[in-house]
Structure 1
Amino acid sequence: MPGNHDGWSPVPFSTRIGRLITRTRATTEPTAPLDTTTEQGGRPGRRLALPALVAAGALVVAGGTAVYAQAHKTVTLDVDGTTRTVTTFAGSVDGLLSDEGVATGARDSVDPAGSLSDGDVVTVRHAHRVTVAQDGKHRTVWTTALTADEALDLLAVRDPDVQLVASRSGGGRPELSLDLSLRGPATIVVDGKELEVGDVRTTVADALEDAGIALGGYDRVRLANDDERHVRVVVQRVSVRTVTRSEEVAFSSSEKDDPSRYVGTQAVTTKGVPGTRTIVERVTTVDGKETKRVLVADTQTVNPVHEVVSVGTKKRPVVSSGGGGGSSRGGPIGDTRDADSLNWAALAKCESGGNPTIVSANGLYHGLYQFSVGTWRSVGGAGLPSQASPAEQTSRAKMLYLRSGAGQWPHCGPRLFS
């Protein structure tokens, strides 16, 4: 039995008994030796003193035993699913947890709270911080659930479509601070297939490993409940790649006045050339579908060449069709210097292949520029154009151009400006 130095006992019974005996001896002991065999008047209580004191001491001891029994308790302590039996003298749940070295925070759950009684079951659940996916966005929440399915059940009260997101630091094993399942089977959804996981206690990473599923560096793992409230582990295959492509850059164009060319004529003096731009993008796909495209670089690797078009501003002269004093062959036929700058050789090659004596199959068109006899005579020609010299044919062609323009040769006329 504990002595007077035990802190839990409120009665220092050893000291109280000693004091009672001392006080009795001081008030009842006679000056002469006592006769312990003869009773004397007024002294019968002398023999009853010791039994009374012994009885008083017995009451004190009985009271201490009752206090001890009340202070000593046997309780069950459940910390995050790990249960053990504890004997304690603590009078409160806080005192029990302090004695057992169980620290708790504001988000943790402790039940019951307050005073502690013998036979109590004290349950402690430490809060876990988990990442959830909701409406396409990630956020962090706290839960005291021990398992993934329990956490999903609690979260589903607010949103049945909420998902738990397993973290993967450095692209390693998917970690979740909760077990995969304690109450039922689970299903792994990956690569268009569904794999059943038995009703066992395991982690997300171990479940995937046991199923032979290897994760890529960017793959994601999420947990959700199915219609039967069983856990579904959804693996999303994520690819992030860099894509490079080229695009053409259109060239610009401008016109400049050219006093050496007649009004209504123009020529490309500087040919425009398209440029090239190189575009680098980072493309993210989830299960084969593109979800994100980020521009990394856009560089113009080849500059375009600016096009310049010369536009004629020179007025056309008025040319007489007869040509005073002109002969039928090789005589003066008017001033054709303004047409000298055009490419007559290109026109002749297009019209006749450059043959001055050629006649069309139907006999209507003659020579280098395929004159009709009527048109030939309208510019002062005599005889057949195919019988005139190449020089005369060219001179007459220039006169026709100055009078009527390149439209006299609908198909080959643009060659004059090449």
Structure 2
Amino acid sequence: MNNLELSPGSNLPSNPSTSSTTKTRRRWPLVAGIAATAIAASGGVAFAKAHKTVTIDVDGTTTTVSTFAGDVEGLLAAEGVRLDTRDTVAPGLDTALRDGSDVVVRYGREVTVSADGKESDVWLNVTDSADALATLASRGSDVRLVASRQGERAEFPLRLHDDGPVAVVADGSTRVVQSDGDGVEEILRRFDIELDEDDRVSVVSVDDLAAAGGEAVKEADVEQVAKKSDAEVALQVERVRTRIVTRTSTIENDSRTVQDASLYVDEGPVVREAGEDGERTRKYEVTTVDGVVVDRELVSNEVTDKPVTRVVAEGTKERPEPEVAPEETSSPESADTSPDTTAEAATSSGTTASSETTTETAAPAPVGSNREIGQQMAAARGWTGSEWTCLEALWTRESNWDHTAMNPSSGAYGIPQALPGSKMGSHGSDWQTNPATQIAWGLDYIAGRYGTPCGAWGHSESVGWY
């Protein structure tokens, strides 16, 4: 192994053996085969002690030196240029030097390359990003050099462009700068571009960047700016954001019908449980690049509010037929057929005797009350006296004459406790609030089913309902 020493990227040190030197930085045409030339093992090469002037190009920095070295290896050793196994030299180390010889040294640098979205690490012997991209162009249609990240710093082993402008694309705009051989970090500092730890920094050819398109590139107008500036290389900063997004959706409740032997068939369905929709919550980890979603991953999916099933009960019990009240008949034994008695009564009273009928007189209902309305409407049907007494007792038991009364178990509603209450809609759309509408329906119901209020009252007394 040779003992040449100079760190990659350093300038050649001054040496007493050299003549006055002129240092210039310029693009040096790559010597044919330099990318494939490895460090050759030194042999016993004799060299003349003749004085000669040669030019050394170390990573694009050229220096003209005077030397008595006989070959390339001796020259580099005399100038303190240290090489590693991944560095390249042209011509080879054992090549004899002549006056006017050119020696080119290219240090090997490891760079991360993204080609069509797939990353890999490669070693290159080039001086700047422009040469690197030209070397790697055959790898894909979208080739870029990816800067490594250390927190808010972007580390990159190559200069951007030794002798050309660089397009800086960040935050929706494109700015062009003459790089002067600067690296990524220096260029970002020029424009006060700060990085978050998730941001991506890459170097790409302007042609590839313009062809790749995307909203951020269009917004930055990369293509137009590049044409005006003749920039070949672009330094792109992509703002990467990752956040948790929550989405909720409704879970519709189910409905279930059950049979209930305690309810009559004609009572209609009764809602036992109203039911309620549930809710499902999903959380996604969403990644955006310059505001465009590039990845969305489901991180949780759970029911945060369980739905409640709606339960409806249907009766299965048949309602018994109403009992028919027996007709009153006069018993022959109870009839008073004695003309003598009738005559005596007529004689003693001075009037003609007739059959006597006792009529029960009901107490008047409170003025303006639901009872008063009911008493008046019943009287209009001829239901006074004992019939009113039966009606008053029946609906006192059912609802206490409250037109908003509702049975919490069956759902029966109103003064007559209609089941369902909507049946009373046949007598008016205001059946929920108007006691007169409810009473009119209730009187018709009693007349059609039991004939009279006392018939309904007798049935209620017998079985507990009417």
TM-score by structure 2 length? 0.54
| 1:139 paired to 2:120 | yes
1:157-168 equivalent positions in 2, closer than 5 A: 157-168=138-149
Q: Is the 8 A contact 1:185 1:196 kept in 2?
A: yes
Alignment match, 2:374: none
Alignment match, 1:379: 449
1:107-146 equivalent positions in 2, closer than 5 A: 107-113=86-92, 114-119=94-99, 120-146=101-127
Post-superposition offset of 1:263: 4.7
Alignment match, 1:46: none
Post-superposition offset of 1:318: 6.1
Q: Is the 8 A contact 1:345 1:354 kept in 2?
A: no
1:383-402 equivalent positions in 2, closer than 5 A: none
Q: 1:389 to 1:137 in 2, by over 3 A?
A: farther
Which consecutive unaligned segments of at least 5 residues does structure 1 have? Answer: 1-66, 360-365, 383-387, 403-418
DSSP-derived class of the 2:114 partner: strand
Post-superposition offset of 1:69: 3.3
CA RMSD of aligned residues (A): 4.2
1: distance between equivalents of 2:241 and 2:287? 6
Moved more, 288-297 or 143-152: 288-297
2: distance between equivalents of 1:185 and 1:289? 29
2: distance between equivalents of 1:394 and 1:324? 9
1:148-227 equivalent positions in 2, closer than 5 A: 148-170=129-151, 172-198=152-178, 200-227=180-207
Q: Is the radius of gyration larger for structure 1 or structure 2?
A: 1
Q: Is the 8 A contact 2:176 2:231 kept in 1?
A: no
Q: Is the 8 A contact 1:187 1:231 kept in 2?
A: yes
Which consecutive unaligned segments of at least 5 residues does structure 2 have? Answer: 1-45, 208-229, 329-382, 399-406, 425-430
For residue 111 of structure 2, what is the amino acid of its counterpart? V
2: distance between equivalents of 1:236 and 1:77? 39
Q: Is the 8 A contact 1:168 1:175 kept in 2?
A: yes
1:16-415 equivalent positions in 2, closer than 5 A: 69=48, 75-84=54-63, 85=65, 87=67, 89=69, 91=71, 93=72, 100=80, 102-105=82-85, 107-113=86-92, 114-119=94-99, 120-170=101-151, 172-198=152-178, 200-227=180-207, 228=230, 230-263=232-265, 265-302=268-305, 304=306, 306-307=308-309, 309-312=311-314, 314-317=316-319, 319=321, 323=324, 325=326, 329=387, 342-346=410-414, 351=424, 352-353=431-432, 358=436, 367=439, 369=441, 377-381=447-451
1: distance between equivalents of 2:173 and 2:290? 12
Identity %: 33
Post-superposition offset of 1:226: 2.2
Q: 1:82 to 1:389 in 2, by over 3 A?
A: farther
Q: Is the 8 A contact 1:263 1:311 kept in 2?
A: no
1: distance between equivalents of 2:59 and 2:47? 31
2: distance between equivalents of 1:312 and 1:157? 78
Provide Cα deviations, 1:119-156, integer angstroms capped at 9, x if missing partner. Answer: 43222212222122332333323221211111122222
Provide the aligned length of Structure 1 versus Structure 2: 308
Post-superposition offset of 1:325: 3.2
